[in-house]
Each structure stands twice: as C-alpha cells, then as structure tokens.
Amino acid sequence: EAGVVQSPRYKIIEKKQPVAFWCNPISGHNTLYWYLQNLGQGPELLIRYENEEAVDDSQLPKDRFSAERLKGVDSTLKIQPAELGDSAVYLCASSKDGLMTGELFFGEGSRLTVL
Amino acid sequence: ELKVEQNPLFLSMQEGKNYTIYCNYSTTSDRLYWYRQDPGKSLESLFVLLSNGAVKQEGRLMASLDTKARLSTLHITAAVHDLSATYFCAVDGPGGGADGLTFGKGTHLIIQP
C-alpha cells in the first residue's frame, strides 16, 4: 500500500513569492491534515479536512495561507506571499479511522526555505 | 489548551545502556502515540496506546500509559546505534482522535558505540 505522497520535497524561494505544496493521502483515508514543523520542534496542526470539508483551520494564518482538498482526495497548501519565517517543513498526514484510534500516517514532508 | 511535555529533550547514551523518556500532558486523554523521526525523514508510528495501563513492546522499545498521572514512558533496553533518532509523543486533541494530535517537542536521542 502506497503511503502519503508529498511534493515537492524541497523548495527554495525568495520572500514575497508564492509557493504551493501537494499531498496525496493513503487511499481510503478520509481525514487529511497539514502540519508545520519548525527545526527542532514537534509538528503543529495547520488544518484538518474530513473528506473535502475543512473542519478545523483555526491555526492556519489565513492572511497568507490557503488550502483546498478538491474531491476529498488530494490536497494543496499555498502560501502567498511567503515570508522568511515560513521556512519550515510542511507535513501532510492522513488517517482512516480518526474517530477510533486517531493514528496518523505522515508523508515525508516539503521543506521550504525562504530567502 | 492541551500541552505535551517531553523530557529529556536531548539524550546521549552508550550502546547497551537502558534509559527512559517521559511524556507528560496537561488534559485528560485516554490515547497517546509515539513516533520516531530520522533526520530529513517523516514521522514513523511506533506505538498507539489506547487505554490506561496500556503497555506495548517492539524490540528494544517499550511504551506505557498512565492516564491518571497523564504520563507515558518510552523505555529503551540495551540501546543500539540504530535507535538514534528523535522520538515524539503525541496526544489526542480535545475532540478525540479526529481533531488531530498535539505533539511534544521531541527527544533527540544519540546512541554512541
């Protein structure tokens, strides 16, 4: 079974430029999460989707961040414009039975460097 | 606000030694998760602890959960170099597993030959 797939793995941009990250969850997983991981820290939740609905985006900085999950499968996270402080790893995770065990499966992440 | 604290944050130990990593959390939760992360890699699920008193073991790692004390431990027995990694504990959000997980800052473990 394929795991959570993210792209790109690495992205270097200049500040004020836009950037987008893509995530394909494990097949059959209805719940999708975007997490932010700063260097030396644990992941922090940005947004959670149940199918195509964003059910928790309270931690998403909405002035510059946006996300979508069309058709309840793939998801895209966008930053526009990027700031220096956005340099981090953006992790996508999915779960099948979030209400049962809550176990999340993570992708390898997209590492963003803003210059 | 749910807070998850791990200690120690950094640990250097020799092969063959035993050690324990502690994870405390601030609000009631019956479920706790341990993940491993290698440098530049994603998080790999190690243990899912779903009830008070749960104990799980895999190789040289053993995890336990005491929900009354809001404490989980990850015990390493006879450490080997391959266990060098960062270990995270995570707890369900207030709404249960579907809210996503709140992670500790991680314990960076280095095991020296």
Over 80: is that where the pLDDT of A12 sits?
yes
Between residues B30 and B20, which one has the greater pLDDT?
B20
What mean pLDDT comes out for the span A67-84? 94
| Res. A98 pLDDT band, cuts 50 70 90 | low
Give the contacts of B88 (CB within 8 A, at least 6 positions apart): A42, A43, B6, B34, B35, B36, B37, B43, B103, B104, B106, B107
Average pLDDT, chain B: 91
What's the pLDDT tens digit per position in A21-68? Answer: 999 999 999 899 999 999 989 999 999 998 888 888 888 888 999 999
Closest CA to B83 of B101, B61, B53, B55: B61
What mean pLDDT comes out for the span A75-94? 96
Q: Report yes or no: A25 and A70 within 8 Å, Cβ to Cβ.
A: no
Shortest distance, CA A69 to any CA of chain B (angstroms)? 17
Q: Which amino acid is at B33?
A: Y
Structure token pair of residue A12: 């270097």
pLDDT at B92: 81
The rounded distance, in Å, linking the Cα atoms of A33 and A98 is: 11
Give the contacts of A61 (CB within 8 A, at least 6 positions apart): none
- The shortest CB-CB distance from A102 to any of B88, B92, B106 is to B92
Q: Report yes or no: A102 and B98 within 8 Å, Cβ to Cβ.
A: yes
- The rounded percent of chain A whose pLDDT value lies above 70 is 94
Shortest distance, CA A16 to any CA of chain B (angstroms)? 26
| Res. B95 pLDDT band, cuts 50 70 90 | low
B38 and A CB contact within 8 Å: no
- For tokens 């940005």, what's the residue? A46
Between residues B101 and A74, which one has the greater pLDDT?
A74
B31 and A CB contact within 8 Å: yes
Put simply, the answer to whether A104 touches B88 (Cβ < 8 Å) is no
What mean pLDDT comes out for the span B76-93? 93
B105 and A CB contact within 8 Å: yes
pLDDT at A91: 97
